[in-house]
């Protein structure tokens, strides 16, 4: 018998957790993505990498609302839907073998390009809620890779890496939100297609990059309760912050950190004042969207 030891460990750890109930202050608009061909881009040639080289501590976080998820394609082809992608990547995947899903959940990945004595990509998979607001963050400090998802945080340690990678060794080096400028296919050396990267369908409320580890980190590896921030505000440690509070229909999204990293919406990616809230869902992550909706 083959056991998925990650899922077994998570089940045992969560059985002993008292997870926090949280609520949030209201925010403004959202970025709406139809999952067809729209996306937003911050060109590398103009802005460089968001996290500077030799940054040892950082936090990347996002509030997002998935309206649908990727599906297995023909011949069991994996489909991926990026939420954001550059030095840090978040997205949804149809490769669910690492996730223990119920019928209303989606499998989500989070990863970061890191370096030190070695260079590579560190990441993991977690479960998020469909048709609800979800919070994700990668918080890196002292070789500890912390992945916060909604009201819990998972820590792993990688002593051979201690900073963000100075360069992303991928064909697409620009910062993308919601997908790339075209579908991307992964093909092995035998010409067999392994995966297809398409686009995210849903809404994004806010994205923040910081050059510090913003939250208290667990002392040891494992899964612990976590309280997400009420909302993202700029400070001296903010590298970029998009709150998508522009008037409805705007396709240029201002960086409220003051660093001038204006995201460009493509193929119809624009802000909206209307917020998706599923009134039949009452889990913790619904609170964010409900408060935003009632605040209008």
Does the pLDDT of residue 9 top 70, yes or no? no
β-sheet bridge partners, residue 65: 203
pLDDT score of 191: 59
pLDDT band at 12 (very low <50, low <70, confident <90, very high): very low
Half-sphere exposure of 239 (CA within 13 A, CB side): 19
**CATH number belonging to the domain at 22-294, selected among 2.60.120.200, 3.40.220.10, 2.40.110.10, 1.20.1440.130:** 2.60.120.200
148 secondary structure, DSSP code? E
pLDDT score of 3: 36
Does the pLDDT of residue 229 top 60, yes or no? yes
* Domain boundaries along the sequence of the chain: 22-294
pLDDT band at 219 (very low <50, low <70, confident <90, very high): confident
Q: Which of 262, 270, 267, 268 is nearest to 42 (CA)?
A: 262
Q: Which of 106, 143, 99, 90 is nearest to 125 (CA)?
A: 99
Residue 253 CA to residue 270 CA, distance in Å, equals 8
pLDDT band at 103 (very low <50, low <70, confident <90, very high): confident
Residue 286 CA to residue 66 CA, distance in Å, equals 12
Is residue 121 within 8 A of residue 113, CB to CB? The reply is yes
pLDDT score of 172: 86
Is residue 210 within 8 A of residue 59, CB to CB? The reply is yes
38 secondary structure, DSSP code? -
pLDDT score of 28: 79
């Amino acid at each position: 018998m083959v056991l998925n030891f990650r899922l077994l460990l998570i089940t045992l750890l969560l059985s002993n957790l008292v997870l926090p109930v949280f609520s949030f202050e209201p925010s403004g608009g959202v970025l709406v993505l139809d999952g067809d061909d729209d996306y937003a881009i911050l060109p590398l040639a103009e802005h460089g990498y968001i996290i500077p080289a030799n940054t040892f501590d950082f936090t990347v976080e996002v509030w997002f609302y998935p309206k649908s998820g990727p599906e297995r394609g023909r011949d069991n082809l994996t489909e991926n839907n990026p939420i954001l992608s550059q030095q840090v990547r978040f997205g949804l995947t149809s490769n669910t073998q690492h996730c223990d899903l119920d019928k209303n959940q989606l499998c989500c990945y989070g990863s970061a390009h890191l370096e030190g004595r070695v260079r590579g990509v560190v990441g993991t998979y977690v479960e998020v809620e469909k048709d609800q607001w979800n919070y994700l963050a990668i918080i890196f400090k002292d070789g500890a890779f912390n992945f916060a998802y909604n009201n819990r945080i998972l820590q792993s340690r990688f002593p051979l890496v201690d900073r963000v990678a100075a360069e992303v060794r991928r064909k697409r080096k620009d910062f993308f939100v919601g997908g790339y400028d075209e579908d991307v296919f992964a093909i092995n050396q035998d010409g067999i297609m392994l995966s297809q990267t398409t686009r995210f369908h849903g809404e994004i409320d806010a994205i923040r990059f910081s050059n510090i580890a913003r939250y208290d980190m667990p002392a040891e590896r494992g899964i612990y309760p976590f309280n997400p921030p009420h909302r993202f505000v700029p400070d001296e440690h903010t590298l970029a912050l998009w709150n998508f509070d522009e008037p409805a229909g705007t396709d240029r999204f201002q960086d409220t950190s003051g660093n001038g990293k204006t995201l460009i919406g493509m193929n119809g990616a624009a802000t909206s004042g209307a917020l998706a809230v599923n009134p039949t869902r009452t889990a913790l992550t619904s609170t964010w969207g409900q408060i935003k909706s009632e605040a209008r």
